[in-house]
């Protein structure tokens, strides 16, 4: 969940009253939020970097509030205050208006066909006669960053650019050029740079270096010019310094470029609805015309309102309450969803504003009604369906075996379900194609490339990490392994395996063999033809002539034996080792 930091005093001033920390925590809970922490800038710096670095930092109290990831309208002080005020019924839901200028008088953004292969979508709008204070300006910048990290997916889907409209002249052109052809003075810099020079400059920048990969390997870079050739921005990296906004900025041109047009429209709607309250005409936004390469045009922002109908019965049944239609409509209105009863009380008509893109189904409306009603106010009831919970048989068997294996002197370990290809193949003397391993499409590290097909590498790596511990090391694990299986709907299947390891100055084959006998005794499997038998076998991970296959209930359930010296060496171990690995699913 995103966390929004707001100054307590500024928040209380906007809300029109003060709260104790406990009262505000309760208000947040009622509204579906969570007051995560009460802190200050000085306390944060002191905690992260020490008291010395915190000297001179502000002592202003900050509230850190956890916001649902899909509530983009609550990511800034303005939206948070507006939502809480409407929830407490202190203000009415505002009506957001789109003002379309007369023909040829409004701003235009022309998209060229060169952008199609890199970031093809763009939307735009204008905030006219806006009044900034230091706090409003900071909130405006912070909201952009919050949106970039959230819905914009770190600028991969959408990048926001805000510009002082009085310093540039439309129409604007969104195009893509060779990096060497782009040259401008970037934000907060003192000289001009070409695009390749900018990439080198920001490669060490703690903030911007995370976005360079989005375009640096592309033959063309996106760029926005005004009619006089002034560069507004090179999305998604940096804006131009020429159009930098400040406290004295009165008119703001906003452009959002990206790879997802729906997300771009949502981001633009959120940005303009949150800060249009500071315009001379509150909650009004000047539209801009976007001209596409095929000649088609579209007016943005859309600020689309839509109407949904839900039945009171549906809401009452799903929540478990029995409210009247008028009360339900009132609850929804408190959640910024203006509602009224229609058709003699048979339906509730809900107006979904442009600030609520999270409402896409009747269940979202029902959820908001539940929040407004108060989860703590819903009466607990005995379910109409009578069921008795029970542990899965496989999990119950696993728990029983864990206790007895520990009683046998073995220590349980829990290892990662993901590992490297080398762990399950090369180090065990196998080819990766023989393992039926499920591969991760985009592994972040070489340590997590595939889902494990055996528990043995995890135990061997645990031993390697604890070589200084007193010998012998006796370890076990009972967990799932994953293998490909085309017969399942997901193409893979889990199997519950038991793996045990004995590491000492001698191999200890008899220790592992004894453990197998104990496990079979616990499973009530006799050591005979109708029970379980062991047969000589070969395994790539085992020493020749020191490996046996375990057969139970007419099928092979695993192997045990002395590990091959090559396997031991590859896991950086120096002493002999015996291991057992079987599946326990046939015994459920």
* Same-domain status, 50 and 186: no
Write out the two tokens for 111: 């998209």
* Same-domain status, 28 and 162: no
Q: What's the pLDDT at 366?
A: 94
- 375 inside domain: no
Q: What's the pLDDT at 515?
A: 94
CA pair distance 58, 43, nearest whole angstrom: 9
* Same-domain status, 553 and 416: yes
* Same-domain status, 449 and 516: yes
* Same-domain status, 290 and 153: yes
Domain that holds residue 323: 306-354+361-369
CA pair distance 156, 119, nearest whole angstrom: 9
- 194 inside domain: yes
Write out the two tokens for 91: 């203000």
- Residue 111: CB partners within 8 Å, gap ≥ 6? 120, 122, 174, 175, 290, 291, 292, 293
Is the alpha carbon torsion for 304, 309, 314, 320 positive or negative?
positive
Q: Would the pLDDT of 369 be above 90?
A: yes
* Same-domain status, 509 and 541: yes
3-state SS assignment for residue 104: coil
Spell out the SS3 assignment of 21-79: HHHHHHHHHHCCCEEEEEEEHHHHHHHHHCCCCCCCCCCCEEEEEECCCCCHHHCCHHH
- 291 inside domain: yes
* Same-domain status, 72 and 122: no
- 43 inside domain: yes
**pLDDT digit string (tens) for 483-517?**
999 898 889 999 999 999 999 999 999 999 999 99
Q: Would the pLDDT of 49 be above 80?
A: no
Q: Are 458 and 419 in contact (CB under 8 A)?
A: yes
What average pLDDT does the segment 34-47 reach? 80
CATH number at residue 218: 3.50.40.10
Residue where a domain terminates, one of 319, 334, 369 = 369
Q: What's the pLDDT at 467?
A: 87
Q: What's the pLDDT at 275?
A: 93
* Same-domain status, 128 and 61: no
- How many domains does the structure of the chain reveal? 4
What average pLDDT does the segment 301-317 reach? 92
* Same-domain status, 123 and 251: yes
**pLDDT digit string (tens) for 213-229?**
999 889 999 999 999 99
- 386 inside domain: no
CATH number at residue 58: 3.30.56.10
Q: What's the pLDDT at 385?
A: 79
Write out the two tokens for 386: 């009578």
* Same-domain status, 416 and 522: yes
- 333 inside domain: yes
CA pair distance 455, 477, nearest whole angstrom: 7
Q: What is the pTM of this model?
A: 0.71
**pLDDT digit string (tens) for 542-587?**
999 999 999 988 889 999 999 999 999 999 999 999 999 999 999 8
CA pair distance 581, 293, nearest whole angstrom: 63
- 377 inside domain: no
Query: Which helix (H) or strand (E) covers residue 11, if one does?
Result: helix 8-15
What average pLDDT does the segment 105-120 reach? 91
Q: What's the pLDDT at 48?
A: 66
Confidence of residue 41 (pLDDT cuts 50, 70, 90): confident
* Same-domain status, 535 and 571: yes
- 486 inside domain: yes
Residue where a domain terminates, one of 58, 88, 118 = 88
* Same-domain status, 123 and 242: yes
Q: What's the pLDDT at 207?
A: 86
Provide the mean pLDDT of the chain: 90
Residue where a domain terminates, one of 300, 315, 346 = 300
């Amino acid at each position: 969940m995103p966390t929004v930091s707001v100054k307590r005093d500024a928040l209380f001033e906007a809300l029109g009253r003060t709260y104790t920390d406990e009262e505000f925590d309760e208000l947040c809970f009622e509204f579906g939020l969570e007051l995560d922490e009460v802190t200050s800038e000085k306390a944060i710096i002191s905690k992260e970097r020490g008291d010395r670095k915190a000297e001179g930092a502000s002592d202003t109290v900050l509230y850190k509030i956890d916001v649902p990831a899909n509530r983009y309208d609550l990511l800034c002080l303005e939206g948070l205050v507006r939502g809480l005020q409407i929830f407490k019924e202190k203000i009415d839901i505002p009506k957001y208006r789109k003002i379309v200028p007369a023909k040829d008088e409004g701003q235009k953004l022309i998209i060229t066909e060169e952008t199609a292969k890199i970031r093809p979508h763009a939307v735009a709008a204008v905030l006219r006669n806006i009044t900034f204070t230091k706090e409003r300006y900071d909130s405006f910048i912070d909201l952009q960053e919050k949106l970039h990290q959230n819905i914009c997916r770190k600028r991969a889907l959408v990048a926001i650019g805000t510009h002082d409209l009085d310093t540039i002249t439309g129409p604007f052109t969104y195009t893509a050029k060779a990096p060497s052809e782009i040259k401008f003075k970037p934000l907060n810099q003192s000289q001009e740079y070409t695009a390749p020079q900018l990439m080198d400059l920001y490669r060490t920048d703690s903030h911007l270096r995370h976005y360079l990969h989005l375009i640096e390997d592309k033959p063309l870079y996106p760029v926005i010019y005004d009619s006089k050739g002034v560069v507004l921005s090179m999305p998604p990296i940096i804006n131009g310094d020429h159009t930098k906004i400040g406290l004295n900025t009165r008119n703001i041109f906003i452009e959002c470029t990206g790879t997802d047009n729906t997300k771009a429209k949502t981001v633009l709607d959120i940005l303009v609805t949150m800060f249009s309250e500071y315009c001379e005409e509150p909650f009004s936004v000047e539209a801009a015309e976007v001209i596409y390469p095929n000649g088609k045009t579209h007016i943005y922002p859309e600020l689309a309102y839509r109407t949904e109908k839900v039945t009171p019965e549906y809401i009452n049944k799903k929540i478990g309450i029995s409210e009247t239609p008028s009360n339900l409509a009132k609850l929804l209105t408190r959640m910024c969803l203006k509602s009224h009863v229609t058709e003699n009380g048979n339906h509730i008509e809900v107006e979904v504003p442009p600030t609520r893109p999270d409402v896409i189904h009747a269940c979202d409306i029902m959820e908001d009604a539940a929040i407004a009603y108060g989860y703590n106010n819903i009466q607990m009831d005995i379910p109409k369906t009578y069921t008795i919970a029970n542990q899965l048989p496989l999990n119950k068997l696993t728990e029983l075996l864990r206790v007895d294996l520990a009683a046998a002197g073995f220590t349980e370990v829990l290892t990662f379900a993901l590992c490297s290809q080398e762990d399950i193949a090369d180090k065990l003397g196998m080819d990766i194609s023989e393992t039926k391993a499920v591969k991760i499409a985009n592994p972040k590290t070489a340590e997590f490339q595939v889902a494990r097909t055996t528990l043995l590498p995890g135990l061997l790596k645990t031993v390697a990490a604890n070589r200084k511990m007193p010998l012998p090391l006796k370890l076990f694990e009972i967990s799932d392994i994953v293998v490909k299986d085309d017969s399942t709907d997901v193409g893979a299947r889990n199997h519950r395996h038991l793996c045990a390891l004995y590491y000492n100055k001698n191999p200890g084959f008899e220790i592992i063999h004894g453990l197998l006998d104990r496990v079979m005794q616990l499973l009530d499997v006799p050591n005979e033809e109708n029970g379980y038998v062991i047969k000589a076998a070969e395994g790539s991970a085992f020493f020749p002539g020191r490996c046996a296959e375990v057969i139970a209930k007419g099928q092979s359930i695993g192997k045990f034996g002395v590990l091959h010296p090559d396997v031991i060496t590859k896991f950086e171990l120096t002493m002999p080792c015996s291991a057992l690995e079987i599946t326990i699913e046939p015994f459920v």
